[in-house]
Structure 1
């Protein structure tokens, strides 16, 4: 009962301890949040930097491919223009061959350059003055020009040459244009093939790391070139049904991160169309290489942050423990300072504080306040006859009985002085106070004789109650209780008297 009173009166709470822990947790959360934000930003910067680098590489490839394709297109346009000259048939085969293919020498990695008639038969071959017989009516480019009046350039699917030449097993693609009469009639096809080794040389001049790849696909999702090759037979193979390729063909240009369906690696894909050609360049950077530096930095920073946060929380816990120990020690000291050492009840100082507190509370609430003054009967003679040790034991026994009948947290049992005790009963009227006092008197009377004593001990009790109807001060309330106690003693002791 005394301990429960101490925090209210002394103002001792554990608020600083909780504030320390809360502040430490909020600091840790702030540190983790800031570090996480910085790491996320650095991750985004690493991605952005890799995207810029990949975009630059894609632009270099685009520019080179556009120049090369332009050379092939000029070769085709020159071939078509020369084939439509009226005086061509009167020229010798050598001169005719020179006129037809005078622009073809500038094309890089060129293969066969052919002039086909409307049936797909070879009319002229850049490699031979007298062309070998051959029919290419089944080629995709011939069928495309045959069925369409579009005179634009067509890029074929990858294929291997039919000849027995040294590089017949090398992959090629062809660039072709439709030859049309002035009336729009289909006259044939001019076609120039290019060895895909051109892309190998172009890719080899670019450094993209060990696990990254460069790719060129057409609008049908066919792979034309790749560095390095992830599959041995991937050239000419369609990847149009792969999710990443579907997205690339759909969007045309851009950048995104995804997992490769071939080697299951996380990659950063940057892609763009090659001008207005049906070709797309794909730079697929390895996620491990792109974020390798960031991952090392993130590991070091996260580890250091973790150690810092754990250390901060540990120090906060140590400080909170010290505060708790200090609070407990202060609480124990406060309790000792408010407790009577002999009986364990509140002392006079505590009594004065609580009584004043309850008095003002009763004044505010208007509820009654009762005070009991209890005195051990004939205690001086008892003490002289049986000794101080026996007297002390008797006082402890009386204090125990009183405390057992005063159980509410708001009430207080205190040693007033010597053999006298005082009880504060908050929100208790005179009738209630008399009932409690009677229980205390009877409880003390039933106490067995203290060892060495020849008679039991009894108590006299005086009661004083303040109500809103009464006109008395705090001092008057105490005086009335003391007066009632005096009357109880004058009336024969071992009794209860209410003022």
Structure 2
């Protein structure tokens, strides 16, 4: 009971200084994490912007080259159409007429010659040969589209395998030819090898996992440079893929997404090539774009972790030191309020409890009881058996008293010498007499403190009342003390009650 009373007075919970220390450490760690998080976020944003700028520069470079060659091809096609409208001398040699018709055509390694197809799809003129080779292309989709659409303009066809010489992939450029009455009179068509785009894309720095895609607006893949060793799905339809649908919807911009081909995370930067039905997409690998940032983040993260652990360690050491200091203070305070021989509360603690309980009694109109206990014939026992035996008797008596008390609010104290006191809050006279009788009987039943003695006994005085302002603590103690001496005069080993409560 005594231990609980002291713990109530000096609780083991954290004090305000410890809470402030923990809060300060937590705020410090949180601030470090926030600052580092903002720094890493800024660095990541910088890496994203760098990837977008790099991709945008590539798009501008590629777009300029493709548009220039497309315009040259279209000028050559329109030149053939215009040349056919110029009147010719009936006796003009075929070689001369061929040279005039295809005067604007300049073939290169990747840009082949032009073919003039009539309304039935037969080749009637070939820029490469004065006498055209016999072929028919009436089944080609570009031929069918021009035949059915008078306003198609320049048509960029889907990739096809060449029929004339080699069988490599080509992209066709074609225009409709109409007679003087506006009726379909065939087309002019030329082919650009897809290898042109391979050569154009090859020197560009897109990383080992990057990709460049050229698509028609209907989703057909025209050309692609992907990771090394990846098959190029020229002619594949991407119109139903989510990435292409977003690109087609937005027209120009950037976003981070997953490739529909190899499931790699990439930065997609895309743009329409002028008024051409083409979309250019540069897809840089997110892993490569963030590689430098990832290395920096690893180093910064490790340093941040070490710093946070250091802060936590310092806070823990300071907290441990503070708790140790608190514990020492509690021990010292407890020692200042505890009797060294018996372990009960000392006179100072008793006075403090009586003061606080008397105020509660007056405020709550609750009874307060006080027991004054004295060991019978203790001086004679002490003289006969010595002070050491006397001290053992007092220590045993203290344990007996403690054993009888069962409430945390009850207080047992050493009043002085062989005299003890017990404070019983919210206890009336009847209850106090029961507790006092229990202590008396327990002491009497306890073995004697020296050979030849049957037992030690105690006399107990009881005072119980609701304390009011006109009754001082000293008067209250005197009432219990007078009752104690009344018990001694009545023969000792008994309990006496003070006047009516």
Structure 1 length-normalised TM:
0.92
Deviates more, 1:58-67 or 1:411-420: 58-67
1:202 corresponds to 2:200: yes
Alpha-carbon separation, structure 2, partners of 1:395 and 1:453: 18
Give, in angstroms, the shift of residue 46 of structure 1.
1.2
Q: Which residue of 1 aligns with 2:178?
A: 180
**What per-residue deviation string (whole Å, max 9, x for no partner) do you get for residues 331-367 of structure 1?**
2222222221221211112212222222223333332
* TM-superposition CA deviations, 1:108-147 (whole Å, max 9, x none): 8320211111111222211122222222212221111112
Query: What is the distance in 2 between the residues matched to 1:67 and 1:497?
Result: 122
Partner of 1:282: 281
SS of the equivalent of 1:61 reads helix
How far 1:190 moved relative to its partner? 1.2
1:27-426 equivalence runs, <5 A:
27-87=28-88, 91-105=92-106, 109-164=110-165, 168-228=166-226, 230-232=229-231, 234-426=233-425
1:445 corresponds to: 444
Number of the residue aligned with 2:474: 475
Equivalent position SS for 1:105: coil
- Distance verdict in 2 for CA 1:129–1:371, change over 3 Å: same
* Aligned equivalents of 1:90, 1:52: Cα separation in 2: 61
SS at match of 2:56: helix
2:385/2:450 contact within 8 Å kept? no
Q: C-alpha distance in 1, partners of 2:91/2:79?
A: 19
Aligned partners of 2:289, 2:302: CA distance in 1, in Å?
21
* Whole-Å separation in 1 of the counterparts to 2:415 and 2:468: 28
Is the 8 Å Cα contact of residues 390 and 452 (structure 1) preserved in structure 2? no
Q: Distance in 2 between matches of 1:453 and 1:483?
A: 32
Evaluate the alpha carbon distance shift between residue 470 and residue 269 of structure 1 in structure 2; reply closer, same or farther with a 3 A threshold.
Answer: closer
What secondary structure is seen at the aligned counterpart in 2 of 1:65?
helix
Closer, same or farther: CA 230–276 of 1 in aligned 2, 3 Å = farther
- 2-side partners of 1:18 and 1:470: how far apart? 41
Change in Cα spacing, 1:88 to 1:429, as seen in structure 2 (3 Å) is farther
CA distance, structure 2, for counterparts of residue 397 and residue 132 of structure 1: 129
Asked if structure 2 preserves the Cα contact closer than 8 Å seen for 1:68 and 1:107, the reply is no
The question of whether the paired residues in 2 share the 8 Å contact of 1:370 and 1:424 is answered with: yes
> After superposition, what is the alpha-carbon deviation per residue over 1:80-105, rounded to whole angstroms, capped at 9, x for unaligned?
12212333766432332233222222
User: Structure 2 CA distance, aligned partners of 1:298 and 1:157?
Assistant: 45
Partner residue of 2:459?
460
Contact 1:258 1:268 in 2 (8 A): yes
| Structure 1 spans left out of the alignment, 5+ residues | none
TM-score by length of 2: 0.91
CA-CA distance at 1:400 after TM superposition: 1.5
- RMSD after superposition: 2.4
Cα shift at 1:416: 0.5
Cα distance in 1 between the residues matched to 2:230 and 2:397: 99
Query: How many angstroms does 1:251 deviate by?
Result: 4.2
CA distance in 2, matches of 1:76, 1:488: 135
- Give, in whole Å, the separation in 1 of the partners of 2:10 and 2:178: 108
Which residue does 1:489 correspond to in 2?
488
Change (3 A) 1:443 1:2: closer
Deviation at 1:298, TM superposition (A): 0.6
Measured after TM superposition, the shift of residue 188 of structure 1 is 1.0
**Structure 2: runs of 5+ lacking an equivalent:** none
Using the TM superposition, name which of 220-229 and 474-483 deviates more: 220-229
Measure the CA separation in 2 of the matches of 1:455 and 1:288. Answer: 93
Structure 1 residues 453 and 34: CA distance shift in structure 2, 3 A: farther
3-state SS, counterpart of residue 43 of structure 1:
helix
Note the alpha carbon deviations across 1:275-331, whole angstroms, 9 max, x for none: 222211111111221001100001001111111112222222222222222222222
Distance in structure 1 (CA, Å) of the matches to 2:89 and 2:194 = 33
**Kept after mapping to 1: 8 A contact 2:362/2:469:** no
